Structure 1
Amino acid sequence: VTPTLLALLESRYELKTPKEVAWMGSALDMSEEFRSIKNIPLMRNKNELKEFVDGEKLYSDGSVFSLDENMDLGSTFGGSKSESKMQSFKAMNAYVTNNNKIIPDDLAVFTVKEEQFTDSETIWLNSVYNGQDSDKGYFIARDLAFDKKFDKALLLCKYILSDVPSHIDTKILMGRVNVWQGNYDTSIKILNDCIKMNPNYIDSYSALFDVYFWSERSKEALALIETVKENSASAHEIEDKIERARNQARKKRITAFLEKIKKSDTETAINSFESE
């Protein structure tokens, strides 16, 4: 879409376009008759790239199908080239993202603060993680957190995010580790940042509901229920945590009501309870 719009503006309004751009695709195919001439990688979710449109073929997790003008699938053969094209794209994608080659730092509108690590920290980090696979690094950090080696887990998380700032699972893990250490405010800030990064990703909400429950922040939890239902199609996956938040809010209201009754302020207590 972006190269198509820029090409239109360039041809009609003499817009000067940059010589180097931050995308690998080309303009939309404007043919009025059916044809499929594009190579289009398709991502199932945040990290799974298993489908690849190769012209009029669709490669999907080892199988190859033909595409017709109604986007219906049919059986076909000879998918080795399609698989090879997908693997080439994945390699190129990994290179530009892991090595920060999408756009030069001096042209970036938003810059990522570079983390500084001591010599001893760097030695330890290199001993547990080679910096080549952020998903593998995340699982190492998660295991460290499960073993209650929180400082080491946080250090590895920072190292991963210094290289791949968009690795949302690592950011969520940082939020969880902070709450396990009792740093509620820090955890809430991190997890809210995760929600802003990807409002549809349910794991961020799941972690934040836990923080609100443990810190007894019922009002915030109730507000989060509306947010997750508005933004995420997967809200049903954490229905147990949503119901837990509602139950906690009810119990807090009932407790406050009984306290007012004890203080012989029955009328005020009833009015307050009914209004809530």
Structure 2
Amino acid sequence: MRWSLDQLEILIACAERGSFSAAARHLGRAQSAISTAIAHLETDLDCQLFDRTGRMPRLTEAGAALLHEARAVIRQCQRLESRAQAIGQGEEARLVLAIDEALVEMPPVDESLEALAGHYPALQLTLLYGAQGDIAGWVEDQTADLGILLRQQGQGPLLEGIRIAHLQQALVVARHHPLAELPAPSAGDLAGHRQLLIASRSEGDAWQPLSAQFWRLNSFYSMAELATRGLGWALVPQHIAQYPPFRDDLIHLASDALGIPPVIEVETVSRRDSGRGPIAQWLQRTLGERFRDHRLR
């Protein structure tokens, strides 16, 4: 390859300005230098780029096709320079983000990812989706740089969590479940039926069941799915109870037995010994802002 980026920029200027002389004025060069550069480019590419038989040079068919390629090369070079400058200023070149599957299709998360794509278009992003407990583990073993999850106790000394939001929970059962017939089930009523509970990474941190009959799952979506099948009652985040595949098959119960259902905190986690770069910090702030915006609506 003997052609240069300078020659490609001259080709683009000549095509856009309509003549070699106009391109020369635009680039602050002598017209002879522009003509020579185009001639050398044609030799290097073994292809005639301009038809010079008329009063003004016109792109040949081959020249028009290669003009498109030249613009693509220049845009890529600009992206390279921009990315190199950003990395030199401390921005991450790559980011691995792990997201709790309970947060899939949540508008604040999706909007934050859209904003990330617009704000840092050159970032190489890897998204990992996992069930409850996977996220903290991936960050801890450095599979992921940053995690977004529903908070759990006992995440280990290596991890640092920052709360960005909280989610309300709903007490739900299937429409055909016996509890659905009770206007306000008591603690005894609930204890008489299977409870579906979220599993914890550590058995010592697991939520204590109200019922002697209980199943533990590592996914709120799986809990809601089993609840729709009448296999038990469950406390799940409200957005999951309202998820289209579930909402028509679930009944929301109001029960004084549980008091006000506890909220679940949403947090980001990262390793204490790995500094968060500016993009990760920006993403944390944006997530918090998006969750606050949706709470106020």
Common topology (TM > 0.5): no
Q: State the TM-score, normalized to the length of structure 2.
A: 0.24
Give the structure with the larger helix fraction: 1
Q: Which has the higher contact order (CA 8 A, sep 6+)?
A: 2
